[in-house]
Amino acid sequence: MAGIKHRLSSIWGEFLNETTLHGCKNTFNKQHGPLKRTLWFLCVIIMGGILVYTTCTFCMKYLDFDFVTRTSVIYNPELEFPAITLCNLDPLDKNKFNISAMDDIHKADPLVADYVEQFLRGSLNVSDSKWLDLRPNETELNKLGFGIHDIIRYAYLIDPKPSPVESEFSITYRKPLEKCFTFNGRYMNKTYDRKPLKFKADSILFLHLDTNKDRYAFYSQAVGFRLFLHHPDEPIHFRSPSSVFSPGYMYEITISEKRYKYLPTPYNSYQNQDCRQVEKSNQGSGEYRSPYSRAGCILECRTNRTQSLCGCIIESLLHDNSSVLCDIPQRHFCAMSSSTSREFCDCKRPCLETKYDYELSSFPLTPNRQTPSEFVVTISFKDMMVTTVEHEPELDFGDIISHLGGYMGFCLGASVLTLFELVEVVLKSLKAIGLHRHCTVNSTQIPPANPCENHTTDCN
Ligand SMILES: *[C@@H]1O[C@H](CO)[C@@H](O)[C@H](O)[C@H]1NC(C)=O
Ligand SMILES: *[C@@H]1O[C@H](CO)[C@@H](O)[C@H](O)[C@H]1NC(C)=O
Ligand SMILES: *[C@@H]1O[C@H](CO)[C@@H](O)[C@H](O)[C@H]1NC(C)=O
Ligand SMILES: *[C@@H]1O[C@H](CO)[C@@H](O)[C@H](O)[C@H]1NC(C)=O
Ligand SMILES: *[C@@H]1O[C@H](CO)[C@@H](O)[C@H](O)[C@H]1NC(C)=O
Ligand SMILES: *[C@@H]1O[C@H](CO)[C@@H](O)[C@H](O)[C@H]1NC(C)=O
Ligand SMILES: *[C@@H]1O[C@H](CO)[C@@H](O)[C@H](O)[C@H]1NC(C)=O
Ligand SMILES: *[C@@H]1O[C@H](CO)[C@@H](O)[C@H](O)[C@H]1NC(C)=O
């Protein structure tokens, strides 16, 4: 017994002699008197208590997952231009409903034209047998709306040489029967393979637009365009924010780009909601797929809901040439309401979001007619500054380590290496105790020879 005691005390004595844990060293120093040793012991206890207390409060603070907001404004020589969607307040062209006046290429299916007209005049009898096989598709509906050449007089990208961009507009539907045109959108374009459109400080998009209000087929109270500024990878949907522009003015839109970075669970830094980490889009390999966006998710969710509820979809939802389109009763009793309903879609925000703010200045164009039909819009970046609003964890794991290191050093003179030393000494002691036990057992009782020890013997 005395042997093991001696051995342990020599192990620990050695450790205490060399350690930086001055409190322990002094407490166990045999040269100090009992009073001094007690005082040192109290010091160690108090300092240890402080260390434990501050570490616990610090960990609890970390587990609150607080975040701080950091805003930075950075100059960029080039910025990606947003997508612009234009929707005429009446997208349908009166002339296109005069089937006898149209040539064969532009002639819409007369039944589709009849349906649209009856619906918008409020005289549609859904159960009429003449609609039995009618499934209005986008191709036919497109023919009834204004074409891009009707609404655009001139469209130039001045960069710094002007180049026409009229052919860069593609057709999108904001809601049923509302035909819109999107510039620089790539959400719907599976074959997109270009470099993103970049703007420099002096690049300007110049649009001279015509509402064609004399040809408005059904709505004549409000004249103008609805304009959406959105990210090229995002679609617009029924509730996207927009503003309405009336003819007779020259509008100057100056955009500023804002990027938001939110933190996902457990921080939930966007209004206490989780956000979704987004992987980069896979450009270059196969068909183009836009990265996740909230607007895209809402559109997909409405498509899914309509598809499962009605068994078919309509032109304002996601579709390709294999989709089943709704017939008239399905369209009116199911798809129209489910595709625009406010019902909850569980669409998280992406953790990295780009938004565009804009400032607008306008002045009247010289009135050449009593009630104008045309207007001019120029769009450019205000300054090439990108404002980034970033949520960051208030404390991260490194902070915990440095806190622990600081307090351990400050209170006890310890470091991580001291901890290793301590562990080593403890292991050494355990080993010594184990050995001692083993020796004692060996010396008191010698176990009988185990026949199994010899593997050549069959024990069973
Ligand atoms: C349809 O077009 C024809 C030929 O252009 C014209 O004579 C007729 O008045 C038009 N009808 C309507 C209702 O606009
Ligand atoms: C709608 O059409 C159906 C079938 O043609 C007919 O029975 C019904 O009376 C019509 N309803 C109205 C309000 O015209
Ligand atoms: C769209 O519908 C018309 C009939 O209304 C049909 O002739 C045409 O083939 C359809 N187009 C597509 C792409 O399905
Ligand atoms: C898709 O993008 C490509 C360029 O990458 C363009 O040539 C094509 O016209 C676009 N398609 C549509 C439908 O806009
Ligand atoms: C819509 O349905 C597809 C396949 O059925 C699914 O992969 C996708 O996650 C669904 N989207 C939403 C927003 O529910
Ligand atoms: C349907 O779309 C695919 C690819 O988008 C195309 O290859 C195919 O020809 C289309 N089919 C019809 C009938 O338009
Ligand atoms: C303990 O006893 C075994 C046989 O029972 C022996 O082989 C071994 O060497 C002994 N160990 C010590 C440390 O004496
Ligand atoms: C145990 O094995 C050794 C060699 O493997 C052998 O010489 C000895 O006789 C064996 N003893 C027993 C009890 O089987």
Closest listed ligand to the CA of 170: 4
**Which tokens is 148 given?**
């891009």
Task: Return the axis-axis angle of helices 416-444 and 2-18, rounded to nearest 10°.
Answer: 170
**Which tokens is 102 given?**
């149209």
Give the integer Cα–Cα distance in Å for 80 and 345: 29
Give the integer Cα–Cα distance in Å for 351 and 273: 11
What is the C-alpha R_g of the chain? 38
Distance 139 CA to ligand 6 centre (A): 14
pLDDT of residue 390: 95
Using the atom order of ligand 7, give the atom closest to the CA of residue 442: 1
Residue ranges around ligand 3 (CB below 6 Å): 109, 112, 137, 139-140
Give the integer Cα–Cα distance in Å for 17 and 27: 11
Q: Quick check: CB of 294 below 6 Å from ligand 5?
A: no
Q: Quick check: CB of 191 below 6 Å from ligand 8?
A: no
Amino acid identity, position 142: N
Rounded average pLDDT per 10-residue block, the chain, 460 residues? 80 82 80 88 90 91 92 94 94 85 79 91 88 89 91 91 92 92 91 88 93 86 91 89 90 94 90 86 70 91 91 91 90 87 83 92 77 88 94 89 88 84 90 81 56 46
Helix, strand, or coil (residue 199): strand
pLDDT of residue 312: 92
Using the atom order of ligand 8, give the atom closest to the CA of residue 451: 13
pLDDT of residue 445: 55
Supply the residue whose CA is at minimum distance from atom 3 of ligand 8: 454
Distance 401 CA to ligand 6 centre (A): 59
Q: CA torsion angle for 96, 100, 102, 103 (degrees, to 10)?
A: 160
Give the integer Cα–Cα distance in Å for 13 and 33: 17
**Antiparallel, parallel or unpaired: β 162-164 and 152-158:** antiparallel
Supply the residue whose CA is at minimum distance from atom 14 of ligand 2: 125
pLDDT of residue 459: 41
Task: Return the axis-axis angle of helices 34-63 and 397-412, rounded to nearest 10°.
Answer: 170
Angle at 142 (CA atoms; ends 136, 148), nearest 5 degrees:
170
Domain ranges of the chain: 2-64+396-459, 71-393
pLDDT of residue 460: 43
Nearest CA-CA partner of 116 in 146, 89, 92, 95 = 92
Instruction: Look at the alpha carbons of 166, 172, 178, 183 in this order and tell me if their dihedral is positive or negative.
Output: negative
Q: Quick check: CB of 146 below 6 Å from ligand 4?
A: no
The CATH homologous superfamily of the domain defined by 71-393: Acid-sensing ion channels like domains (2.60.470.10)
Supply the residue whose CA is at minimum distance from atom 12 of ligand 5: 301
Contacts (Cβ under 8 Å, ≥6 apart) of 260: 270, 352, 353, 354, 355, 388, 389, 390
